[in-house]
Structure 1
């Protein structure tokens, strides 16, 4: 498949809420659905408790398009400063060879040498998406998510538009559920891992997000189709993992309808791009 051509007019789509250390209590969460014209029908919500089950899911035969909630690349400014490889695959191979303590120490030293207000280096896509810098190692530790996730994509042989050629029937895009959630509820918080912060206000925000998705009130111009049980599951889960996976699924569906997967004409082939940013 030509990565610059309009992708599948009708396709299986998926969204992945990722964690760098999946467990049964905090698994990787996957929403799988079908793009049907101007709507996306949610079929299944899956929990993947370990890296092996995630690898098996990535190997699912295509065609499918998935948006995954972790960064696929590092800022070019950071990579050049550290003298790391400046092509995506060699960079990811180098990055996977580091342990987590090395990553934390290296990035902390980089930030410590920079002035206040400009501690982190940023990718071009992060400003438009409003996402955390991909080199951030705490709150949220997205640099560690990249460390766990990007090598898994490379090993699975999936196609990463703008970054790495792979199986054209299995397309993986970087997603960010916060981008779509903010469009729907502004800066209202809709999830919390800490039970003490799982408030009625966050429950109402999740209801509002789901209602807006079902009505198609987003710039993605897609309606979400749910069963009653699915709607209840998305609203009731206070940690928001199921809802985040569905938000990513909607971003994947939008990208599947766009030329170049919705990416700008030119993106940095080291940094990548966030779907629908």
Structure 2
């Protein structure tokens, strides 16, 4: 089974964690169902169940090496994540804000090596978007569930979790055009039209992933109707998971991640990388 996860650090009835489930048949990715989970405990329960999957999760899997080093935190990934999980959300904000305050203008945030190629926000950012808090809430659950994190931490090889990023795939299709908002006033017909363009492009396979999305009419309608973009983001992660599964079957032990990835920072799935020296 393939899994695409649109994660939120404070799930609830109005904004749940959205899972897109599917499978790949050749170059076609079949969306089978959506699962909506309204609590972190419920998400952990789902992750722990005995089923095999390869999943792409829309949350950071690591912190910038420069940040970890400057703070004097453990430089080994698992120890660093355990230290990070031991902080409160308020402590995360305070520590990261102090780091930024001491840095020169234009260089406030530390970045991971993957941020440039992926066009992603720094994983230490605690607002707009609060990806640091997503890492803080989500990674402990993946560790407790004992899943396998290629390149970072060995676990149950039947449940493989990789860092996805829907924005990377979406920008390939529509550039910087806005397609979603959690604010009702900004949930416009123009954004709905962009979601329709994204869904159509995914169905026609117009991405460098070389995969086509297959949808039922009701599934397509849901992607267009969900103005928050959560279901569409989960599907984008599903496509990245399908690419990773295919890469693994073609011989990549790291599911398409670069062989020389930084084992402290991690890497965003499908982000381009240089071959290295």
Normalising by the smaller structure, the TM-score range is over 0.9
What is the DSSP-based 3-state SS (H/G/I as helix, E as strand, rest coil) of the residue aligned with 1:74?
A: coil
1:51 aligned to 37, 40, 43, which one? 40
User: Is 2:250 the partner of 1:261?
Assistant: no
Deviation at 1:276, TM superposition (A): 0.5
- Tell me the alpha carbon deviations over residues 138-190 of structure 1, each in whole angstroms, 9 at most, x when there is no partner: 00000000000011000000000010000001000000000000001111000
User: Is 2:73 the partner of 1:80?
Assistant: no
Task: Return the alpha-carbon distance in structure 1 between the equivalents of residues 257 and 163 of structure 2.
Answer: 11
Task: Return the alpha-carbon distance in structure 1 between the equivalents of residues 196 and 211 of structure 2.
Answer: 18
1:200 aligned to 189, 194, 198, which one? 189
What is the DSSP-based 3-state SS (H/G/I as helix, E as strand, rest coil) of the residue aligned with 2:114?
A: helix
Residue 126 of structure 1: aligned partner: 115
Task: Return the alpha-carbon distance in structure 2 between the equivalents of residues 61 and 36 of structure 1.
Answer: 23
Residue 71 of structure 1: aligned partner: 60
Residue 3 of structure 1: aligned partner: none
The TM-score normalised by the length of structure 1 is 0.95
Residue 31 of structure 1: aligned partner: 20
2:231 aligned to 217, 242, 251, which one? 242
Task: Return the alpha-carbon distance in structure 2 between the equivalents of residues 231 and 94 of structure 1.
Answer: 42
Task: Return the alpha-carbon distance in structure 2 between the equivalents of residues 263 and 85 of structure 1.
Answer: 23
- Tell me the alpha carbon deviations over residues 113-151 of structure 1, each in whole angstroms, 9 at most, x when there is no partner: 111111000000111000100000000000000000011
What is the DSSP-based 3-state SS (H/G/I as helix, E as strand, rest coil) of the residue aligned with 1:124?
A: coil
What is the DSSP-based 3-state SS (H/G/I as helix, E as strand, rest coil) of the residue aligned with 1:250?
A: helix
Runs of 4+ in 1 over 3 A off after TM superposition: none
Deviation at 1:230, TM superposition (A): 0.3
Structure ranking higher on relative contact order (CA contacts 8 Å, 6+ apart) = 1
Deviation at 1:265, TM superposition (A): 1.7
- Tell me the alpha carbon deviations over residues 23-59 of structure 1, each in whole angstroms, 9 at most, x when there is no partner: 0111100000011111110001111000111011111
Structure 1 residue runs of 5 or longer lacking an equivalent are 1-11
1:251 aligned to 240, 243, 253, which one? 240
The TM-score normalised by the length of structure 2 is 0.95
Task: Return the alpha-carbon distance in structure 1 between the equivalents of residues 225 and 49 of structure 2.
Answer: 29
Residue 6 of structure 1: aligned partner: none
Deviation at 1:250, TM superposition (A): 0.3
User: What's the RMSD between the two structures over aligned residues?
Assistant: 0.7
What is the DSSP-based 3-state SS (H/G/I as helix, E as strand, rest coil) of the residue aligned with 1:42?
A: strand
Task: Return the alpha-carbon distance in structure 2 between the equivalents of residues 234 and 55 of structure 1.
Answer: 25
Residue 276 of structure 1: aligned partner: 270
2:99 aligned to 107, 110, 124, which one? 110
Deviation at 1:261, TM superposition (A): 1.0
Instruction: Return 59-68 or 151-160, whichever deviates more.
Output: 59-68
Deviation at 1:223, TM superposition (A): 0.5
